[in-house]
């Protein structure tokens, strides 16, 4: 897996990109990389419900999950490895034969022992994936996007990308807030500069907050001192060679 430099867009699948782009036009959604996000009207899982769409209720071949949990219900606490039906046993045997004797598993184990071990590993893995999905659900719950039942549930990749953008947006907002607080603090007792500062809507200050007063020193230094980098929103930072 390659490490992507910060700020460089990931490479989600085209569908994920389309999903993100079809989301509402909230600022944070388009914050980076043009991922306008997803959600509107795509009824993924709408017909059978978002949880059903997860497929918990649709065991695949060889699946040793005994029954579909209620929608939204947590995964069964105890998924024993001894819950297989006869059909599932057959499926297991078929797969085992297909792989042949030299295939999976520890040759020293007796087949029954080997099978029971395999089933317990499967159950553990299933539980792990359910936990992962629960965590993703928790993430979906705190990302601001349309949560209505008629709206398709965010896919996993869309959830992650959206969360990342949301975090970046929050960090940016926090940074702007700090600038604003610093500006207001510096401006105390200096009514004129404060009044003159044409603060446009939040996050769009057109004048460097640190320029309000002769004793404040060079703007980029102040900006850098505060945020680590000169402000891209600061007129003076841009004007300074």
Partner DNA sequence: TAGGCCATCTGGTCCT
Partner DNA sequence: AGGACCAGATGGCCTA
CB of 145 to DNA, least distance (A): 14
CA distances from residue 201 to 114, 120, 173, 176, 204 in whole angstroms, order as listed: 66, 58, 12, 11, 6
Establish if 120 lies at the interface with DNA (CB under 7 A).
yes
Establish if 10 lies at the interface with DNA (CB under 7 A).
no
75-82 own/partner pairs: CB under 8 Å, 24+ apart: 75/126, 75/127, 75/130, 75/131, 75/134, 79/123, 79/126, 79/127, 80/123, 81/116, 81/119, 81/120, 81/122, 81/123, 82/116, 82/119
Binds DNA by CB under 7 A, chosen from 70, 104, 177, 225: 104
Q: CA 226 to CA 182: how far, in whole Å?
A: 9
CB of 225 to DNA, least distance (A): 38
CA 233 to mean position of chain CA atoms: 28
CB of 232 to DNA, least distance (A): 33
Q: Which of residues 123-182 bind DNA (CB under 7 A)?
A: 123-126, 128-130, 133, 153, 155-158
DSSP string, 119-132: HHHHHHHHHHHHHH
Q: CA 84 to CA 119: how far, in whole Å?
A: 9
* CB-nearer residue toward DNA: 61 or 144: 61
Residue count of the chain: 241
Stretch binding DNA (CB under 7 A), from 119-127, 177-185, 196-204, 221-229: 119-127
CA distances from residue 79 to 25, 125, 216 in whole angstroms, order as listed: 42, 11, 65
- Dig out the tokens for 73 from the structure: 């219900």
* CB-nearer residue toward DNA: 14 or 110: 14
- Mask of contacts with DNA, 74-103, x by CB under 7 A? ------------------x--x---x---x
Q: Are 117 and 109 in contact (CB under 8 A)?
A: yes
* CB-nearer residue toward DNA: 104 or 190: 104
- Mask of contacts with DNA, 31-70, x by CB under 7 A? -----------xxxxxxx---xxxxx-xxxxxxxx-----
CB of 157 to DNA, least distance (A): 6
Binds DNA by CB under 7 A, chosen from 14, 141, 148, 189: 14
CB of 112 to DNA, least distance (A): 14
Residue ranges binding DNA (CB under 7 A): 1, 13-16, 19, 42-48, 52-56, 58-65, 92, 95, 99, 103-105, 117-126, 128-130, 133, 153, 155-158
């Amino acid at each position: 897996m390659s490490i992507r430099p910060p700020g460089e867009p990931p490479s989600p699948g085209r569908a994920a990109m389309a999903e993100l782009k079809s989301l509402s036009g909230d600022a944070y959604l388009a914050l980076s990389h043009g991922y306008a996000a997803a959600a509107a009207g795509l009824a993924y899982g709408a017909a059978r419900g978002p949880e059903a769409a997860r497929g918990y209720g649709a065991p695949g071949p060889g699946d040793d999950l005994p029954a579909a949990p209620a929608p939204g219900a947590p995964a069964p606490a105890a998924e024993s490895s001894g819950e297989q039906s006869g059909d599932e046993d057959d499926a297991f045997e078929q797969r085992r034969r297909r792989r042949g004797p030299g295939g999976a598993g520890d040759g020293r184990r007796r087949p029954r022992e080997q099978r029971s071990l395999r089933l317990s590993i499967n159950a553990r893995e299933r539980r792990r994936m359910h936990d992962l999905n629960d965590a993703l659900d928790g993430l979906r719950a705190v990302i601001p996007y349309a949560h209505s039942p008629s709206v398709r549930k965010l896919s996993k990749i869309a959830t992650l990308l959206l969360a990342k953008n949301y975090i970046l947006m929050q960090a940016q907002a926090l940074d702007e807030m700090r600038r604003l607080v610093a500006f207001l603090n510096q401006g105390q007792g200096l009514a004129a500069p404060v009044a003159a500062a044409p603060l446009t809507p939040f996050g769009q200050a057109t004048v460097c907050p640190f320029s309000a007063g002769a004793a404040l020193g060079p703007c980029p230094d102040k900006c850098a001192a505060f945020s680590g980098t000169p402000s891209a929103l600061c007129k003076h930072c841009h004007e300074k060679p």
